[in-house]
């Protein structure tokens, strides 16, 4: 019973904070290592479709893609892009997010992190190049890529190509789209925007190096970006 109560305490803290470490929470960290607590946490992982990850004296909560309780819901994501935002804008936001991760973490050396920051203007130029390449493909080629990678390329391409880079009065611009994506990442404590530079957090660095880059789907997406298929 004590193990279950400790597991609930740990779960509540992680839902609110996303992570905790031994330095700031030595008592709870010690309880996390207890075998009985681990058994209770395994049940919570199954029930809430999430993962408790432990790296470098820090415990992380990572919601599963299909988590209806812990993950970000589509309606919540749409709110980042404006009151009239559609699912198509959410799809474009996802594409930009994946490409940001690719820019940071597609290194071939021992440490996969390639850069310390990504300038927004550089990101816009590179997205322009990618969408222009996709536009040059036949409709059949794009449909095949969409089927292979389960990404809505056509709608993302159409929205991006019809946006201005920036405008004093218009909200739907490439610059604001990237700002909205960065706001999502910032709220999830993964990255932040400062002086038009995107920078990652230690949390994202650890999760990418130790967990996400070992995922088959992330590897597939990175390879597709490398080949220019996405």
CA dist list (Å): 18 to 11, 57, 58, 120, 133: 9, 14, 11, 27, 38
Residue 121 lies in a domain: yes
Residue 179: its pLDDT value, please? 94
**Rounded-to-integer distance, Cα 224 and Cα 230, Å:** 6
Q: What average pLDDT does range 30-35 have in this prediction? A: 93
Per-residue pLDDT tens digits for 34-87: 999 999 999 998 888 888 999 889 999 888 765 555 556 667 788 888 778 888
Residue 50 lies in a domain: yes
Residue 195 lies in a domain: yes
Residues 6+ apart with CB under 8 A from 85: 78, 79
Q: What average pLDDT does range 85-105 have in this prediction? A: 90
Per-residue pLDDT tens digits for 128-168: 999 999 888 888 888 888 888 888 888 898 899 999 887 77
CATH of the domain at 35: 1.10.10
Domain that holds residue 172: 74-227
Tell whether 149 and 204 lie within a shared domain.
yes
Q: What average pLDDT does range 115-125 have in this prediction? A: 95
Residue 68 lies in a domain: no
Tell whether 106 and 175 lie within a shared domain.
yes
Residue 38: its pLDDT value, please? 94
What share of the chain in percent tops pLDDT 90?
A: 42
| DSSP codes of every residue in 12-44 | HHHHHHSEEETTT-HHHHHHHTSHHHHHHHHHH
Tell whether 121 and 9 lie within a shared domain.
no
Residue 184 lies in a domain: yes
Tell whether 22 and 125 lie within a shared domain.
no
In the numeric block, which tokens belong to residue 43?
């049940």
Q: Are 212 and 128 in contact (CB under 8 A)?
A: no
Tell whether 53 and 148 lie within a shared domain.
no
Domains: count for the chain: 2
Q: What average pLDDT does range 12-24 have in this prediction? A: 90
- pLDDT level of residue 20 (50, 70, 90 thresholds): very high
Phi-psi region of 57 (alpha: psi -120 to 50; beta: other; left: phi over 0): left
Residue 27: its pLDDT value, please? 92
Residue ending a domain, among 27, 42, 63, is 63
């Amino acid at each position: 019973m004590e193990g279950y109560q400790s597991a609930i305490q740990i779960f509540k803290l992680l839902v609110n904070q996303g992570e905790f470490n031994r330095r700031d929470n030595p008592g709870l960290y010690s309880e996390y290592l207890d075998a009985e607590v681990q058994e209770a946490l395994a049940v919570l992982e199954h029930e809430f479709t999430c993962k408790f990850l432990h790296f470098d004296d820090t415990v992380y909560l990572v919601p599963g893609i299909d988590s209806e309780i812990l993950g970000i819901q589509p309606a919540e994501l749409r709110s980042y892009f404006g009151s009239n935002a559609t699912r198509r804008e959410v799809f474009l936001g996802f594409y930009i997010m994946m490409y940001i991760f690719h820019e940071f973490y597609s290194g071939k050396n021992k440490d996969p992190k390639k850069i310390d920051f990504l300038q927004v203007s550089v990101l816009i130029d590179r997205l322009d190049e990618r969408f222009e390449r996709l536009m040059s493909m036949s409709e059949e080629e794009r449909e095949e890529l969409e089927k292979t990678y389960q990404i809505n390329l056509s709608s993302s391409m159409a929205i991006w190509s019809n946006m201005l880079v920036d405008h004093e009065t218009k909200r739907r611009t490439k610059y604001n789209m990237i700002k909205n994506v960065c706001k999502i990442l910032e709220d999830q404590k993964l990255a932040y925007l400062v002086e038009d530079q995107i920078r990652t957090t230690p949390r994202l660095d650890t999760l990418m190096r130790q967990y996400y880059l070992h995922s088959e789907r992330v590897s597939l997406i990175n390879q597709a970006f490398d080949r220019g298929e996405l």
